[in-house]
Amino acid sequence: MARRKKVYEGKAKILYEGPEPGTLVQYFKDDATAFNAEKKDVIEGKGVLNNRLSEFFMNGLNAVGVPTHFLKRLNMREQLIRSCEIIPLEVIVRNVAAGTMSKRLGIPEGERLPRPIIEFCLKDDNLGDPLVAEEHIIAFGWASQQDLDDMIALALRVNDFMCGVMYGVGIRLVDFKIEIGRVWEGDFQRLVIADEISPDSCRLWDIETNEKLDKDVFRRDLGSLTDAYTEVARRLGVMPANSAPLGKPTLVN
Ligand code: 5GP
């Protein structure tokens, strides 16, 4: 079999040419990075868990009519996705103050926000993904006003879906980052949720204990990252194929 052509390699994933035009294969690595790759490690099994968890969230979003790039999972580490043109912005949705918002604005971590707050960061590692205003986005042509309106609407729908799913298994969705891509259909473009949705890109806290079940475990040296992600997968009934059989989501009282 011919070697596949690598299209792009990022910090946590590799994209290969897909089997058909307009498709790509997204491979989840075990590499973990934080603070713009200043902190790095290889965490065995992380890629397998994120592949399964991202499949779970993207499938759910597709099912409730929020379009995503996800087509199907191929194996333990790979999924087939629609190729799209990634808008060079990270879209962050926050329900509870944490991370850079707490640092920047002095709002104590854990304080519930009056409403979901959306932030945009420019995807640029050399600049450390800086926070940008809508004015910058329009003025520099990173997205149009129509794109921005659509991105905000999509991000809020993802937030509602994710908050509900996580609340059902006793987890608070503190915040998350998504990426959005353009898919062209003839002369028309459609926006879809792209990249991944996993504990790498969300803050997830146990509702009862505030235990962190996300990448902050790695960023802040709080214990085993795979244990945290496995716990999220277990509660959602999403387990790697070679471990316990798939179960139903566990409702937490
Ligand atoms: P913060 O701005 O507080 O660092 O991050 C807000 C949320 O977005 C967190 O859930 C964090 O995991 C996610 N996030 C922000 N930037 C990135 C990034 O470059 N990569 C990933 N995977 N997640 C990010």
Distance from C-alpha of 55 to C-alpha of 74, rounded to nearest angstrom = 10
Q: All domains of the chain, ordered by start, with CATH?
A: 85-206 (3.30.470.20)
| Residue 240 vs residue 26, higher pLDDT | 26
Ligand 1 neighbour 92 (Cβ under 6 A): yes
- Kindly compute the dihedral angle of the four CA atoms of residues 194, 190, 145, 159, in this order, to the nearest 10 degrees: -40
Beta strands in the chain (DSSP E): 6-9, 13-17, 23-28, 31-34, 39-42, 70-73, 78-82, 85-86, 89-96, 112-122, 131-132, 171-185, 188-194, 202-206
Distance 93 CA to ligand 1 centre (A): 10
Give CA angle at 215 (212, 220), nearest 5°. 75
Could you count the other beta carbons within 10 Å of the beta carbon of residue 150?
16
Distance 245 CA to ligand 1 centre (A): 31
* Tens digit of each residue's pLDDT (9 = 90 or more) over 118-174: 999 999 999 999 999 999 999 999 999 999 999 999 999 999 999 999 999 999 999
The answer to whether 89 touches 121, Cβ cutoff 8 Å, is yes
* Residue of the CA atom closest to atom 21 of ligand 1: 201
* Model confidence, pTM: 0.94
Ligand 1 neighbour 13 (Cβ under 6 A): no
* Tens digit of each residue's pLDDT (9 = 90 or more) over 6-39: 999 999 999 999 999 999 999 999 999 999 889 9
* CA nearest neighbour of 92 among 202, 199, 214: 202
- CA–chain centroid gap for 161, Å, is 13
